[in-house]
Amino acid sequence: MDLLEKIKHAGIVGAGGAGFPTHVKMKSQVEILIINGAECEPLLKTDQYLMRERTEELVQAIEMVQREIGAEKAFLALKKKYGKEIEVLNKTLKNRGSRIALFLMDNFFPAGDEQVLVYEVTGRTVPPGGIPLQAQVVVSNVGTMVNIYEAVQDKPVTDKYVTVLGEVKQPKLLKVPIGTPVKKCIEAAGGAAIEGFCAIMGGPMMGQIMDDFDIGNQVIKKTDGAIIVVPKDQYIVKRKRTPMTHIINQSKSACIQCRFCTDLCPRYLIGHPLRPHKIMGAIATKSIEDEVFNQALICCDCGICELYACPMGLSPRLVNGYIKGELRKKGIAYQGEKGAVVPNETREYRKIPVNRLIARLGLEKYTHQKVGELEELQVKQVTIPLQQHIGAAAVPVVSVGDPVEKGQCIGIVEEGKLGANVHASIRGRIAAIGPSIEIIGEQEVME
Ligand code: SF4
Ligand code: SF4
């Protein structure tokens, strides 16, 4: 099996984003490979752990991928402040005589946004509505590389590293089987330290808010990397929970057209024709088909306009999300400028320092939490979604009652379709098959 086949067989998808199947992304031949180790969202620690503790595997995987895609240059981009990780990486790179270069970035948000990263590292801009491939770049991340190393050893994706912090009694870095209930992860971190809490799945800027029902029903997927427990009335929760009708009404009546949302928008600053203040100014008077709304399709959902920039407490991000949904229902794609763009000359001065962002988000009290040593969580039951990725859901290849081994393929991507295989993350027996496959652990079956 060649590398791409091994990646496909192992069911690898982008570990830190929307879950694009990696075997498809790595088919390209490009000039530059960038591995994202920026750990873009505030508070997260998972990628730092991988760079520090799985350094050799990470470096080997980057070298393999660099060869596979024919890239002349490979960069591992991380923040200057990751002193320990830089030290360990430099030592490993030197020992191996590796050609991989570390690219050190300031501590700003969103340093890890794919298109911001391409500009930071290469000085090239991805065309609006485009992908890094158009700039001769492939971007992947640290977690995906570690999974590729495992795939070469014939180990599929069965586990996920997850940071659990915030209002928990013992913040933890966990390695959990995919399909582990979110609730179990919070319990493994000592449980919630407060009454009445929510959890943010992912980072505080782009993550999803989970209430009691979600916490009880959602499971860890291949793309998850963090759970942050916060009070139900936390600033981020209140902002992200505002009903859409209220947001639209507020936008119509309260936007003062100060354009802070535009002036701090990272996509606008790399030159893309995205001006959220124009969208906010038009929402009261123009129909959804008006061309001013088409630019919402190139918003990356970073949340700066909503959680940092707007002095009126408005949410251009959610308005953009609403417009994107409406345009997609009508089958309208991005129709704006798609050619080369010129970054804004003030960009360097408008990067958002992460410390200031954390203060604005009301998360300072969690910045010094230590997650300690990695803990491997054992669970008795997992519920593994057949769709954890962009594309079609995997098709089950097991039946209820079948015994399965950890790592056994239980769902496959159909030939010719975009998707990814899924594998049993514990040894046990298949208990149910639906949009997810439920496995009861072997011990539980015997009892
Ligand atoms: S920052 Fe807020 S008030 Fe200012 S233009 Fe944007 S949405 Fe309107
Ligand atoms: S969420 Fe706001 S700041 Fe971020 S890309 Fe979209 S419009 Fe720009």
Q: Are residues 336 and 372 in the same domain?
A: no
Q: Is residue 242 part of a domain?
A: no
Ligand 1 pocket at CB < 6 A: 255-261, 276-277, 280, 309-310, 312, 314, 316
- Tell how far the Cα of 292 is from the centroid of ligand 1, in angstroms: 16
∠ CA(351), CA(317), CA(252), 5° rounding?
Answer: 120
- Give the pLDDT of residue 11: 96
- Tell how far the Cα of 300 is from the centroid of ligand 2, in angstroms: 6
- Tell how far the Cα of 404 is from the centroid of ligand 2, in angstroms: 44
- 314 Cβ inside 6 Å of ligand 2: no
Q: Are residues 308 and 200 in the same domain?
A: no
- Give the pLDDT of residue 423: 98
- Tell how far the Cα of 427 is from the centroid of ligand 2, in angstroms: 43
Backbone angles phi, psi at 348, to 5 degrees: -55, -35
Which residues have CB under 8 Å from 41's CB, separation 6+? 109, 112, 202, 203, 204, 205, 206, 207, 226
Query: How far apart are the C-alpha atoms of 360 and 299, rounded to whole Å?
Result: 22
Smallest CA separation from ligand 2 atom 8, residue: 265
- Give the pLDDT of residue 405: 97
Tell me 124's DSSP state.
-
Smallest CA separation from ligand 2 atom 3, residue: 265
- Give the pLDDT of residue 447: 45
- With a cut of 70, which residues of the chain have pLDDT below it? 443-447
Q: Is residue 243 part of a domain?
A: no
- Give the pLDDT of residue 445: 53
CATH of the domain at 419: 2.40.50
Smallest CA separation from ligand 1 atom 8, residue: 255
- Give the pLDDT of residue 384: 97
Q: Is residue 251 part of a domain?
A: no
Q: Is residue 301 part of a domain?
A: yes
Which residues have CB under 8 Å from 343's CB, separation 6+? 119, 125, 269, 270, 271
- Tell how far the Cα of 261 is from the centroid of ligand 2, in angstroms: 7
Q: Are residues 223 and 368 in the same domain?
A: yes
| CA nearest neighbour of 181 among 227, 146, 149, 147 | 227
Smallest CA separation from ligand 2 atom 2, residue: 305
Q: Are residues 128 and 20 in the same domain?
A: yes
Q: Are residues 57 and 199 in the same domain?
A: no
Query: How far apart are the C-alpha atoms of 317 and 300, rounded to whole Å?
Result: 9
B/e letters for 189-227, b = 16+ CB within 10 Å, e = fewer, are beebeeeebbbbbbbbbbbebbeeeebeebbbbbbbbbb
- Which one of 301, 350, 360 would you pick to mutate in the ligand 2 pocket, going by the greatest count of ligand atoms within 8 A of its CB? 301
Rg, C-alpha atoms of the chain = 22
Cβ neighbours around 309 below 10 Å, total: 24
> Is the preceding omega at residue 110 within 30 degrees of 0, hence cis?
yes
Smallest CA separation from ligand 2 atom 4, residue: 302
Token representation of residue 173: 């870095």
Smallest CA separation from ligand 1 atom 3, residue: 255
Tally of domains within the chain: 4
348-407 residue pLDDT tens: 999 999 999 999 999 999 999 998 889 999 999 999 999 988 899 999 999 999 999 999
- Residue ending a domain, among 109, 130, 152, is 152
Q: Are residues 113 and 57 in the same domain?
A: yes
Q: Is residue 250 part of a domain?
A: no
Domain span at 314: 257-357
50-87 residue pLDDT tens: 999 999 999 999 999 999 999 999 999 999 999 999 99
Tell me 293's DSSP state.
G
Tell me 338's DSSP state.
-
Burial class (CB in 10 A: 0-12, 13-18, 19+), 70: exposed
- Which one of 255, 274, 306, 322 would you pick to mutate in the ligand 1 pocket, going by the greatest count of ligand atoms within 8 A of its CB? 255
Q: Is residue 248 part of a domain?
A: no
| CA nearest neighbour of 115 among 95, 135, 101, 98 | 135
Query: How far apart are the C-alpha atoms of 177 and 381, rounded to whole Å?
Result: 10
- Which residue do the tokens 């485009």 mark? 130
- Tell how far the Cα of 303 is from the centroid of ligand 2, in angstroms: 6
Angle between helices 55-69 and 46-53 (to 10 degrees): 90
Q: Is residue 240 part of a domain?
A: no
Q: Are residues 229 and 368 in the same domain?
A: yes
Tell me 41's DSSP state.
S
- Residue ending a domain, among 323, 342, 377, is 377
- Residue ending a domain, among 330, 348, 377, is 377
Query: How far apart are the C-alpha atoms of 107 and 385, rounded to whole Å?
Result: 35
Q: Bridge-partner residues for 172, per DSSP?
A: 164
- 276 Cβ inside 6 Å of ligand 2: yes
Q: Are residues 10 and 138 in the same domain?
A: yes
| CA nearest neighbour of 106 among 371, 373, 352 | 352
Q: Are residues 391 and 293 in the same domain?
A: no
- Tell how far the Cα of 360 is from the centroid of ligand 1, in angstroms: 17
Nearest ligand atom owner, CA of 321: 2
What atom in ligand 2 is closest to the CA of residue 299?
6
- Give the pLDDT of residue 242: 87
Q: Are residues 335 and 346 in the same domain?
A: yes
- 304 Cβ inside 6 Å of ligand 2: yes
Q: Are residues 289 and 328 in the same domain?
A: yes
Residue 198 contacts residue 182 (beta carbons within 8 Å): no
Q: Is residue 29 part of a domain?
A: yes
If phi > 0 it is left, if psi is from -120 to 50 it is alpha, else beta; for residue 64 that is alpha
CATH of the domain at 195: 3.10.20.600
Q: Are residues 61 and 184 in the same domain?
A: no
